[in-house]
Amino acid sequence: MDDPKKEIILNEILFWKRHKLLPEHYCDFLMALYTEGEGVGLQDQIRSGNSIWGKEKRKRAAFSLLTMVLAAALLVFLFRMTSYVPVALGIVGGITVLLIVYAFKLVEKQDLIAPILQVAAALLILGISVKVSLVYFEHNNVMLYALLIANCLLWLVAGVKLKLLYFSISGVLGILILAGYLLLFL
């Protein structure tokens, strides 16, 4: 079956069958009709992941993994860079802005990759904040704590505003941990 339109239709029929949107014998009839009697073999091929849905899932998983690897590599690059710090901050900041913009576009489409981009962007912003504190305010721990609290507040506000539970919880927990640390050890 080389026709992509047929493949889309067959994927839809399998989806209907799997989720009981149509009676099973109707789905079998439609499958036989569109495959000209070869429906049984194609069902196995489509179920095995060679379908459009399987390819789409693999693309999303690969994109998610690539995004997290990119974020981790950027954080390593940011903290390993000792000379040309403003250039490193600019590169990581620019990529962070791109991730945020792309995440907002995906949220509008209700794509499931958007939370991964949001978390990666939040971690990069945290990394930028810590690097700025370590480079430009080297022996000023108050500035480090202030930037960490600002990050937690940003997460909390983003969580409440965008109705993202994971950001709200991260913001509250971060503030509580920082407050506990400051009260106990300072």
Cβ–Cβ < 8 Å for 51, 18:
no
For residues 127 and 148, membership in a common domain is answered with no
For residues 62 and 125, membership in a common domain is answered with yes
For residues 130 and 64, membership in a common domain is answered with yes
For residues 63 and 130, membership in a common domain is answered with yes
pLDDT of residue 1: 47
C-alpha–C-alpha distance, residues 122 and 151, integer Å: 8
pLDDT of residue 54: 63
User: For the chain, what is the domain count?
Assistant: 3
pLDDT of residue 154: 95
SS3 labels along 133-144: HHHHCCCCHHHH
For residues 132 and 102, membership in a common domain is answered with yes
Domain ranges, residue 64 = 58-136
pLDDT of residue 7: 78
For residues 174 and 132, membership in a common domain is answered with no
For residues 45 and 82, membership in a common domain is answered with no
pLDDT of residue 73: 92
Backbone angles phi, psi at 138, to 5 degrees: -55, -45
Backbone angles phi, psi at 37, to 5 degrees: 90, -5
For residues 115 and 98, membership in a common domain is answered with yes
What averages of pLDDT result for each successive group of 10 residues across the chain (186 residues)? 73 82 82 73 52 68 86 91 88 90 79 84 94 91 94 95 93 95 89
For residues 84 and 30, membership in a common domain is answered with no
pLDDT of residue 168: 96
For residues 113 and 71, membership in a common domain is answered with yes
Domain end, chosen from 98, 118, 136, is at 136
